[in-house]
Chains A and B, each alone.
Chain A
Amino acid sequence: MGTVLEVRDLVTRFHTSQGVVHAVNGISYSLDSGESLAIVGESGSGKTVAALSLMGLVPPPGRVESGEVILGGREILGLSGKEWRNVRGSEISMVFQDPMTSLNPVLTVGYQLTEGLRRHMGLSRSEARTEAVRLVDLVGIPNGVQRLASYPHEFSGGQRQRVMIAMALACKPAVLIADEPTTALDVTIQDQIVRLMKELQAELGMGIVWITHDLALVAGLADRVAVMYAGSIVEEATVADLYRRARHPYTLGLLNSLPDGDHAVSSRLEAIEGRPPDLRERFARCPFVDRCSHAIERCSTEKPVLESVGEKHTSACWRREDL
């Protein structure tokens, strides 16, 4: 399986009136086709901005300042507006967080599903229609012909997310970005959506970047995990490695704050003390130092970089060997 997506040193900043916000500070990762990478981080860690950067959709005053995004062998950050539009939806597409607001209330589901097909695949109205029926069937919505004539409010939340997935997959993109696609759904529907996406991945072979704050969800859905903190990746490992032996204090903190099935009742959950740092700062130190119980002097003076701690396992911590 070849690499479909490679991100190198991506830097995205927001130039606001209150100063420059360093949302993404030089992250790098790669994704093979058919592979799932989860990017985990708390709110404000830069994971969504990192994803939007790949789509060329960073809202102003934000801007991708430097770095490379190589999608299917082609660098895409330098594309013109028109070239971008040809890439979006056909080579890389995105499933958004809230299915209740991600569909246009005044257009039929069929219209919204066929829009991309007609634009990217050059299908005629009736061909797009046929394909749309196939797609809604694929994502598990029965009675497609009739459902396509319905409006979004006639669908349940889970079904809307199925429609969003169908829209994102319509033109068979090589990479799918799933930005917390299950956060707005209840647990049983979450499970259905996750299973659906894994089935579709097995069938269509696209690479998926899962963006989530839910480390518990990650175990069931990703091959590899990258943990983001304050705009940087602080640890990257296979799922099994990360759960067995996390090598960054922040990851450890996240794992400790998960409810544990065995003694959930008896032990209190551990929270990570303190608050995430202000991203207007340009870090010359470890961004996690203020909240870290393992911190040493060096952490306050020098920013750690990602270094290998094992096979396919990297950590950005000066004490990576001691953990």
Chain B
Amino acid sequence: MSEGIPVYERPAHIPPPGLWTRLRRHKLAVISIAVVALMTAMCAAAPLLTGYEFDAIDLGSIREAPSLDHWMGTDDLGRDLFTRILYGGRVSILIGVLSAVIGTLLGSTVGSVAGFYGGRLDNVLMRTTDVAYAIPTLPLLIVLASYTAATGGSMALIIGLLSWMTTARVVRGEVLSIKEMAYVEAARSLGATDWRILFQHILPNAVGPIVVGATLAVGNAIIVESSLSFLGLGVQPPTPTWGNMLMDAQATMATKPWLTIFPGMAILLVVLAVNFIGDGLQDALDPTGREA
């Protein structure tokens, strides 16, 4: 029945390309995963990697340049900077990742439900989004932060709850266009339920912009936490975060650059790596293998 039709056959020894196989082709993403994993592991294992306490003040050795004793130097209270980077990373990475997850989940849910069901529900959800957009974030954060104990977890929650609106809008737009595709109608004609159509057929096709939004949110959250720390409303000293270390170092940026460079580099490295991972994921999630 099929004679004469050229058929592409995948040679038997090559497995069908899965997500991981496709992601592995993206060298930068693989390196980035390794970097993030390594940094997370180092932060988690901080006590094993350093002999200092993160809050051990040593007034005999303040603002020392990097040396064999203090790999990244010491800050203005004589605390070991390397130690503080490791402990600070625990908080900063937690805030970055957790708030991005919260914001993305919330935004995707709101956006996809609004786009998929349309009508009045869409209106209610999107006007709510507009209102949330219109609230000035920083003053609200200040108010919230002054009423809650500023731990890493609560900061992540607050930042996450205030950063879902862009995702919601983008996802709604994607869902609006994808739900008109012929394969959605085809799925419907085979008796698929609304939920199934939304989660199995529509959202996987919208994953690109969602992933991009999420990776941007990681970096953004780390930076928002820094701003709050700067205002004294973030995670409270002596607990270090990369953000508040950076803020502490402002006054001596010109004369003692290592105090700025190391926390800055840490933030840069994580944000950059997460963005590369997002890039790789976006390509890998598209089975046709096109480069985005």
Listed in ascending order, the chain A residues whose CB lies under 8 Å from chain B are: 55, 57, 84-90, 93-94, 96-98, 101-108, 112, 115-116, 119-120, 140-143, 146, 149-151, 153-156, 158-159, 164, 167-168, 189, 192, 195-196, 199
Query: In the complex, A67→B138 CA distance in Å?
Result: 60
- Can you identify 20 A-B contacts, CB atoms within 8 angstroms? A55-B189, A89-B190, A96-B189, A101-B181, A101-B183, A102-B182, A103-B183, A106-B205, A108-B16, A115-B187, A115-B190, A119-B192, A120-B191, A140-B1, A146-B9, A153-B287, A159-B5, A159-B7, A168-B189, A192-B2
Asked if residues A143 and B9 are in contact (CB atoms below 8 Å), the reply is yes
Interface majority SS (helix, strand, loop, mixed), chain B: loop
CB distance from B31 to the nearest CB of A (A): 26
Asked if residues A146 and B5 are in contact (CB atoms below 8 Å), the reply is no
**Chain B residues in 8 Å Cβ range of A93:** 189-190
**Chain A residues in 8 Å Cβ range of B182:** 96-98, 101-102
The B1-20 residues at the A interface (CB cut-off 8 A) are 1-2, 5-10, 12, 16
4 shortest interchain CB distances as A-B pairs: A89-B190, A140-B1, A89-B191, A149-B16
**Chain A residues in 8 Å Cβ range of B67:** none
Asked if residues A102 and B186 are in contact (CB atoms below 8 Å), the reply is yes
CB distance from B45 to the nearest CB of A (A): 38
Q: A104-B204, A167-B186, A168-B190 are in contact. List 13 more A-B contacts (CB 8 A).
A: A86-B191, A93-B190, A97-B182, A104-B201, A106-B205, A106-B287, A115-B196, A115-B200, A119-B191, A150-B16, A158-B5, A189-B5, A192-B2
Given contacts A88-B191, A149-B16, contact A196 B1 (CB under 8 A): yes
Asked if residues B6 and A156 are in contact (CB atoms below 8 Å), the reply is yes
Query: In the complex, A201→B187 CA distance in Å?
Result: 22
**Chain A residues in 8 Å Cβ range of B201:** 104, 107
**Chain B residues in 8 Å Cβ range of A168:** 189-190
- Does B185 count as interface, using CB distance less than 8 angstroms? yes
**Chain A residues in 8 Å Cβ range of B204:** 104, 106-107
**Chain A residues in 8 Å Cβ range of B287:** 105-106, 108, 151, 153
Asked if residues B189 and A89 are in contact (CB atoms below 8 Å), the reply is yes
**Chain A residues in 8 Å Cβ range of B8:** 154-156
Listed in ascending order, the chain B residues whose CB lies under 8 Å from chain A are: 1-2, 5-10, 12, 16, 181-183, 185-193, 196, 200-201, 204-205, 207, 285-288
Query: In the complex, A130→B190 CA distance in Å?
Result: 19
Given contacts A101-B181, A196-B1, contact A85 B189 (CB under 8 A): no
Nearest residue (CB) in B for A156 is: B5
CB distance from A165 to the nearest CB of B (A): 12
Query: In the complex, A88→B191 CA distance in Å?
Result: 5
Query: In the complex, A119→B182 CA distance in Å?
Result: 20
CB distance from B138 to the nearest CB of A (A): 39
Query: In the complex, A142→B207 CA distance in Å?
Result: 32
**Chain A residues in 8 Å Cβ range of B196:** 115
Asked if residues A57 and B186 are in contact (CB atoms below 8 Å), the reply is no
Asked if residues B188 and A57 are in contact (CB atoms below 8 Å), the reply is yes
**Chain A residues in 8 Å Cβ range of B288:** 105, 151, 153
Nearest residue (CB) in A for B205 is: A106
Given contacts A115-B192, A140-B1, contact A104 B9 (CB under 8 A): no
Asked if residues B2 and A142 are in contact (CB atoms below 8 Å), the reply is yes
CB distance from A130 to the nearest CB of B (A): 18
CB distance from A322 to the nearest CB of B (A): 43
Nearest residue (CB) in A for B192 is: A115
**Chain B residues in 8 Å Cβ range of A155:** 8
**Chain B residues in 8 Å Cβ range of A199:** 1
**Chain A residues in 8 Å Cβ range of B193:** 85
Contact check: which of B2, B186, B286 meets A164 at CB < 8 Å? B186
Query: In the complex, A154→B12 CA distance in Å?
Result: 15
Query: In the complex, A168→B188 CA distance in Å?
Result: 11
Asked if residues B183 and A116 are in contact (CB atoms below 8 Å), the reply is no
CB distance from A170 to the nearest CB of B (A): 8
